[in-house]
Amino acid sequence: MGPVRLMKVFITRRIPAEGRAALARASDCEVEQWDSDEPIPYKDLERGLTGAHGLLCLLSDCVDKKLLDTAGANLKVISTLSVGVDHLALDEIKKRCLIHSGIRVGYTPDVLTDATAELAVSLLLTTCRRLPEAIEEVKNGGWTSWKPLWLCGYGLKESTVGIIGLGRIGQAIARRLKPFGVQRFLYTGRQPKPKEAAEFQAEFVTTSQLAAESDFIIVSCSLTPATKGLCNSAFFQQMKKTAVFVNISRGEVVNQDDLYQALTSSQIAAAGLDVTTPEPLPTNHPLLTLKNCVILPHIGSATYGTRNTMSLLAANNLLAGLRGEPMPSEFKL
């Protein structure tokens, strides 16, 4: 009997220890990793994916038709270290399912819900209470005395919060905001979710109504053709001048030029972003010049525990898919 042929697995980045260890223990796999914390160049990704049976990638890796063609018929599994799958050419992946045995896709929902919701609330409070401005005033000597209206922001008590996308993360955000004394929750999405909304007495409304009536708006929807550019000039013009806008979903849901105009013209009070287009945002981007815009480097799931759990789930999805077993979290194509 000849030697057992190992399945080739390519990992596009250094990943947290638990996932790395799970793959190292897989005796039926030959694992190759791009040994860097920085994104892999496209040419190196092409080379690594050639002949691979499995790919473990990140949300910053665009897996397009060309890469899928490069991989060829060997590729059986794509496991992404993310809940979002908008970086994967899903239509092309579906086509390959019709041609041969297909490609299975694994992703990491649920495990990052709490960490991302915590970050969303942190970003909302940081933005509406103007914390970066306050910190800067302490550092630059602007703090001279206590003044009645200096650095006043907006509070959550008796407010209306609008959530665009009442999925797992949207619900977790509402659950955390409720004890702050929020009076009313509004939400919008593809369809009403009465069961999920009941916990918060949340009302399903149109996007226009949500924009017009909310004191705080949090975007937590998936990026789809329907949501791309959803938050644009028309949307911001409907918002209250005292409203605060937060996006923790995907940068492309927001038209950033329109957001800049809304912020500089005082059409809205402030914005907090954990996601941008592009990522990273260039250091000379106009949004970075504004005091009423807080921008974070996409750290929604960035706790040690969450990232380790994500890496282990991504590894287990990959291994299960390669072995023809049920994946812990398979994205249904």
Contacts of 165 (CB under 8 A, 6+ apart): 187, 188, 189, 219, 220, 221, 222, 227, 249
Residue 78 forms beta bridges with which residues?
55, 105
201-231 as b/e, with b when 16 or more CB fall inside 10 Å? ebbbbebeebbbbbbbbbbbbbbeeebeebb
Bridge partners of 31? 9
Measure the CA–CA gap between 48 and 68, rounded to whole angstroms.
Answer: 12
29-50 in b/e burial notation, b at 16+ Cβ within 10 A? bebebbeeeeebeeeebeebbe
Whether 53 is a known active-site residue: answer no
Catalytic residues: 298
